[in-house]
Structure 1
Amino acid sequence: MTAHTESRPPFPPFTHETATQKVRMAEDGWNNRNPERVALAYTIDSQWRNRAEFPVGREQIIEFLRRKWSTELEYRLVKELWAFEGNRIAVRFAYEWHNDNSEWFRSYGNENWEFDRHGLMRRRYASINDLSIHESERKFHWPQGPRPNDHPGLSDLGL
């Protein structure tokens, strides 16, 4: 499939319903932790800023995600729609993970997304902060994979 025939509905311009759907689809994809599959949601030449890294294109995105999920163990993510307009969506998120020393963290952040007309993300700008937490402070306890539909979101959890 070429870049011109690829598509990832829903498509812009977004409504509240389709923006919320897009956010949940992204969350589910990242919670599956499959870099090759996640990268298909982005344009071939997608540009990112993630902390101090600037991957460009799917191959660099795949390598970035492989590194990320090899060090951020038992990763569980929750995203929430913050705002949307036209072909742009802003989200806030939190994810929990531990390192290979079993030290737990909750990472908080915001992302700004821009989509092409085919529903592929062409720009992703992420700002993220890590908070060291005790394992007993964890809030995300579902089995690895997508968050269950009945699990509370960020606002419900007071995050």
Structure 2
Amino acid sequence: MNERPPFPPFTAETAAQKARAAEDAWNTCDPERVSMAYTYDSHWRNRDTFLEGRDDIVAFLRQKWARELEYRLIKEVWTYGDNRIAVRFVYESHDADGQWFRSYGNENWEFDQHGLMRQRHASINDLPIDGADRLFHWDRSGPRPSDHPSLAELGL
């Protein structure tokens, strides 16, 4: 059985750990790695796309990161309770033509007893930005540095 601590019920500390672990995994842009945090039959709504299971998640993420280049993401816990966490997030990426975007969103997560996410509901809005207006500048070879400003600190 695949397990992903911390496990529910969540506290402020463990919810923040879960959000940071998700952020770090998504920033790898590795669909297989990311998919392992979800149940085999995980249900997703991502914008207007509905997915079920890890195979759908991997296929979706491969397509996503083929379009959203130089992807960098920050997540913050909005609220939490028992086996659920709500996060807000912002990511920056550019398309194949070099147009940069800042994408703002909210996710609602539900976890099983093994700490695997069984439901993810994401609402996301994209804002075109100039490359000079980017705020997320860290080396793509690793996670967001611990001293990089949070969304709240950036005023996002």
Q: Which amino acid aligns with 1:153?
A: S
The alignment's C-alpha RMSD in Å is 0.5
Give the corresponding residue for 1:16.
Answer: 12
Q: Aligned pair 1:112/2:90, yes or no? A: no
The superposition leaves residues 95-141 of structure 1 with CA deviations (integer Å, 9 ceiling, x where unpaired) of 00000000000000000000000000000000000000000110001
What is the CA distance between 1:146 and its match in structure 2?
A: 1.1
Q: Distance in 2 between matches of 1:36 and 1:119?
A: 17
Q: Aligned pair 1:149/2:146, yes or no? A: yes
Please show how residues 17-32 of structure 1 align to structure 2 within 5 Å.
17-32=13-28
The superposition leaves residues 33-87 of structure 1 with CA deviations (integer Å, 9 ceiling, x where unpaired) of 1100100000000000001111100000000000000000000000000000000
Q: Distance in 1 between matches of 2:16 and 2:152?
A: 14
Q: Which amino acid aligns with 1:136?
A: A
Q: Of 120, 126, 129, which residue of structure 2 is paired with 1:124?
A: 120
Q: Give the TM-score, by structure 2 length.
A: 0.99
Runs of 4+ in 1 over 3 A off after TM superposition: none
Q: Distance in 2 between matches of 1:107 and 1:143?
A: 19
Q: Distance in 1 between matches of 2:33 and 2:131?
A: 30
Please show how residues 70-85 of structure 1 align to structure 2 within 5 Å.
70-85=66-81
Q: Give the TM-score, by structure 1 length.
A: 0.97
